Copies of this chain bind each other. A is one copy, B any other.
Amino acid sequence: MKAEIGGAVDAGVEQRVRDSFQRQGLMGHLGATLSEVRQGLVSIRMPFRPELSQQHGYFHAGGTSAIADSAGGYAAFTLFPELSSVLTVEFKINLLNPARGDALEAVGKVVKAGRTLTICQLEVFADDAGQRTLVAIGQQTLICMHGHQDAPKPARAG
């Protein structure tokens, strides 16, 4: 079955994405939440707080990149087989406008899904008093680790 980018996902797929996101300590630490999980398309939202700022008081590009990276990674992951894991190979991001506002929303979208490699486009928007601005765009390459659990390896028994 070919994926329809933006189409609804199975409950099982959504659960796998939400479980994996939950295990990403950094997302919780940044106050980021999954806002949308669709086939090959995932959005992550991150409200502003001073702990996310750069030196001028806007969102730091590191936080912008972190949610963009996770959004693309999970967009790819929605199309992967059940027993597999996702890793970012590389990404590139252009910061177009000052990332200021009430919240950022990153959208990762699969452009090419392959057996081994998946390529995503990334967009990050700033919502500021009801106005939405595109603040960053990116491209990302992800690898599917077939046969790998998407979780930490259990500690070896003594």
Contact = CB atoms under 8 A, between A and B. Distances in A.
A55 B92 contact: no
Nearest to A59: B26
The complex is assembled from copies of this chain, and their number is 4
Interface residues of A, number: 56
A139 B26 CA distance: 23
A56 B152 contact: yes
Nearest to A85: B56
Contacts of A28: 51
A94 to B, nearest CB: 4
Contacts of A65: 62, 65-66, 69
A53 interface: yes
Contact of A26 (B51, B70, B138, B143): B51
A116 B119 contact: no
Interface in A48-87: 49-57, 60-63, 65-67, 69-70, 85, 87
Contacts of A39: none
A54 B67 CA distance: 12
Contact of A66 (B21, B24, B57, B62): B62
Nearest to A51: B29
A3 interface: no
A53 B65 CA distance: 15
A60 B24 contact: yes
